[in-house]
Structure 1
């Protein structure tokens, strides 16, 4: 379906910032415009997008470190022996449930957040979404000071942390419009990594903030409330809206009619879903499986940090060699990492277990970057195969690609909801062991590698070597 720009918009010089910081015309594929003006504008928007998304990710995963301090010590009969920090006495099952619900709400909210960019504009929605982070941060500060609060209320407050998870979808959909195809992998990788690294920063800073604060656990929420306000103000002042990104949201819906959109969403469960699920659960596993809460609080952040830093390099490798081959390699290495984690648990070897998860995190990051690079490549292939070659057709598939980025990120994030529950099931069913959960993940990674080869590398595949 063609989308017609107005004659007035076509006559505006590319890159001119108008009222309300709207850019009516944007031509990143025009090399002259890109080098003279476009690149600087795009980079400025990327920087402040990263900042806002970083704060969002931090808020989303705040509970991953807070719950480690909230666990009680119980005897074999379930009798409480010692309460955790602040008088809390969560069981491992309750802690994993809190983490799963926060992840699940964040995944669900990515769907409306994706549609928010074409409705409100990228800059405008970045401001709104940053302000919304005051709900989970102030809610956390309030509830953590009340250890007599029911678990249901605690769960509801934790669920609001999902507002931070929604930011990613809108941010990625917005930034995808700013960059030319040849630089999308690196730009989207940087944008995502800047957000993802918020997990590691939060997991490192929050224990320090709690330790030096006179109010204890509530400091976790109060630490990020002013940062959310700062992100909103800076986005309002320095970011721009693109007119071509603000349009009828129907192209996003039309992206769902392509089977490859759903296939990429499934693969993204294996890469990003694993990253966010492991980020949430890793500190808890160190505490529950090895009884090393000190390691969890001091070094648990390293997994999320390495996974975040690896992500843009996954995009860069995909730019050079193709996203599909990098994705297959990532899944196979992740299967190896899962096998090493099983050995670490069975041998009660904390060092091997820790290193295996570092390997897992690194290749979830690389896989995140490569799968995201595959999305615009797939829609470019669809454009070439099914489009009519007109400017309207090119813009239509560009909008579908941006919408698919958000939808795929939403579905993929549900992995972060499933993973803590799988660990919880494994512990409850197999006498506290997480080995069956790890074995399930190994099988999933191998299956996803085979699936990627079959649809994207196999000779004769419609999307071969995207």
Structure 2
């Protein structure tokens, strides 16, 4: 290779060499670049999650500012981002091996400007057609799709022994985007942040009181940060020189462990993301009819906050204990709290609300444990680049969580008059995955101890 060719290759999007499992390479060059890339992509992923879940924070106020949507229509709006996230993640899992991290992460961040701008315009007019709201809700789900390119990209930058830690940090902090949007929304909508754009206020009627809010801020607040994330991805991120053709990537579907881990991750992240999206509306539906009813977003952000924090912490723990034992604990805990919460979903008074929230937070806690442990298991069960493909695939299917959970809750409310059947079903699903994990990964003599 000539000097010119060498310089051209060095300046391209792809790194000329990447061997993180080589201790000498890791210390001399790999470590600094890997951690820099992790922090840049984690920033972008946090914003992506915020855009994905901003709809769940917006819908609880639509009818209070003049929209006239039914309960089913509201649950459909919370469900659509999950449908989009699952579908776009199926595409994202192939992007990094094909186009590299730099281009994929930059374009993915810029694409989220569409729903961020669109929702801000739509909420200012109560006559906005429902199909437009559904379309914008679907587009917001692209933020969830980004996970299946951001996470596999990170798995390529770190040595196998550190992937539990790296993926736990990125996914856990990224998941904070869910809590961020539900915590931040009540604050930002109370201030005219975008007066220079002629931003109009809306009259918000709650508990018989009327006040001015700017609901468009709930989406517009992310616009400058999304632009910053795209710029950082383009200038600070490079691509790992690992290419995989379509045939190699599709080979993961012939491995039974791909499907087992898909089911297990649906239990953990599927439940986490689904309940995070539905939690605000669930609070309003179950407890909103009482006098002095609780503000949904005042409590709903606690679920994803706890689940995200736990995911970061247990990513570190999983590198030391292994993932399988923590997944076992996760499944047991989720099953127990899924049963306990049924005692508080047909309330007769607000005195039951604290226990309802506590049981829901129990589900979020143990789902966070499982979200960390499964991402430790997959790089152990599969070899690269297959592990990156499996991470992308399982994440894609689990991203349907908000769609599936919101639809099941809506269906059980209509069919049974309450949500007890949903939570009983969740408990059964957790027990099923507990048995899968124990048999294949956790028992003495397991086929793939992880």
Question: TM-score scaled to structure 1, two decimals?
Answer: 0.87
* Residue number in structure 1 paired with 2:208: none
Work out whether residues 185 and 312 of structure 1, in 8 Å CA contact, stay in contact via their aligned partners in 2: no
Provide the C-alpha distance between the structure 1 equivalents of 2:174 and 2:312, rounded to a whole number of angstroms: 11
Structure 2 CA distance for partners of 1:263 and 1:59, relative to 1, 3 Å: same
Work out whether residues 55 and 198 of structure 1, in 8 Å CA contact, stay in contact via their aligned partners in 2: yes
Alignment equivalent of 1:435, drawn from 400, 417, 420: 420
Structure 2 CA distance for partners of 1:203 and 1:293, relative to 1, 3 Å: farther
* Residue number in structure 2 paired with 1:34: 26
Provide the C-alpha distance between the structure 2 equivalents of 1:21 and 1:108, rounded to a whole number of angstroms: 27
Cα deviation for residue 32 of structure 1 reads: 1.9
Work out whether residues 252 and 402 of structure 1, in 8 Å CA contact, stay in contact via their aligned partners in 2: no
Work out whether residues 84 and 141 of structure 2, in 8 Å CA contact, stay in contact via their aligned partners in 1: yes
Provide the C-alpha distance between the structure 1 equivalents of 2:153 and 2:133, rounded to a whole number of angstroms: 33
Alignment equivalent of 2:408, drawn from 422, 427, 434: 422
Work out whether residues 286 and 346 of structure 2, in 8 Å CA contact, stay in contact via their aligned partners in 1: no
Provide the C-alpha distance between the structure 1 equivalents of 2:98 and 2:13, rounded to a whole number of angstroms: 15
Over the residues paired in the alignment, what is the CA RMSD in angstroms? Answer: 2.0
Alignment equivalent of 1:227, drawn from 221, 225, 228: 225
* Residue number in structure 2 paired with 1:383: none
Deviations 1:79-114 (A, max 9, x none): xxxxx12x1122222111111111111111001111
Question: Aligned with 2:221: secondary structure?
Answer: helix
* Residue number in structure 2 paired with 1:263: 260
Question: Aligned with 1:242: secondary structure?
Answer: coil
Structure 2: 5+ residue stretches without partners: 193-199, 202-213
Cα deviation for residue 376 of structure 1 reads: 0.8
* Residue number in structure 1 paired with 2:206: none
Is 2:330 the partner of 1:338?
A: no
Provide the C-alpha distance between the structure 2 equivalents of 1:149 and 1:221, rounded to a whole number of angstroms: 16
* Residue number in structure 1 paired with 2:94: 115
Question: Aligned with 1:145: secondary structure?
Answer: coil
* Residue number in structure 2 paired with 1:94: 73
Provide the C-alpha distance between the structure 1 equivalents of 2:142 and 2:115, rounded to a whole number of angstroms: 7
Cα deviation for residue 150 of structure 1 reads: 2.4
* Residue number in structure 2 paired with 1:361: 364
* Residue number in structure 2 paired with 1:20: 12
Question: Aligned with 2:94: secondary structure?
Answer: helix
* Residue number in structure 2 paired with 1:69: 61
Question: Aligned with 1:275: secondary structure?
Answer: helix
Greater Cα offset, 319-328 or 143-152: 143-152
Provide the C-alpha distance between the structure 2 equivalents of 1:337 and 1:360, rounded to a whole number of angstroms: 6
Deviations 1:345-376 (A, max 9, x none): 24551000101111111111110011111111
* Residue number in structure 2 paired with 1:412: 398
Question: Aligned with 2:254: secondary structure?
Answer: coil
Question: How many pairs align?
Answer: 423
Cα deviation for residue 424 of structure 1 reads: 0.4
Superposition pairs for residues 234-245 of structure 1, below 5 Å? 234-244=232-242
Alignment equivalent of 1:251, drawn from 248, 272, 279: 248
* Residue number in structure 2 paired with 1:272: 269
Cα deviation for residue 459 of structure 1 reads: 3.8
Provide the C-alpha distance between the structure 2 equivalents of 1:347 and 1:99, rounded to a whole number of angstroms: 23
Deviations 1:299-345 (A, max 9, x none): 21111111111112232232222211110110100111112211222
Is 2:277 the partner of 1:285?
A: no
Deviations 1:180-235 (A, max 9, x none): 11100010011111211101111111221112235322222211122211110111
Provide the C-alpha distance between the structure 1 equivalents of 2:316 and 2:387, rounded to a whole number of angstroms: 19
Structure 1: 5+ residue stretches without partners: 1-6, 72-83, 380-396
Superposition pairs for residues 36-435 of structure 1, below 5 Å? 36-71=28-63, 84-85=64-65, 87-213=66-192, 214-215=200-201, 216-244=214-242, 246-291=243-288, 294-346=294-346, 348=348, 349-379=352-382, 397-431=383-417, 433-435=418-420
Work out whether residues 286 and 347 of structure 2, in 8 Å CA contact, stay in contact via their aligned partners in 1: no
* Residue number in structure 2 paired with 1:457: 442
Deviations 1:46-99 (A, max 9, x none): 00000111111000000111111124xxxxxxxxxxxx12x1122222111111
Provide the C-alpha distance between the structure 1 equivalents of 2:378 and 2:9, rounded to a whole number of angstroms: 29
Cα deviation for residue 284 of structure 1 reads: 0.8
Provide the C-alpha distance between the structure 2 equivalents of 1:17 and 1:332, rounded to a whole number of angstroms: 51
Cα deviation for residue 17 of structure 1 reads: 8.4
Work out whether residues 273 and 414 of structure 1, in 8 Å CA contact, stay in contact via their aligned partners in 2: yes
Provide the C-alpha distance between the structure 2 equivalents of 1:336 and 1:17, rounded to a whole number of angstroms: 55
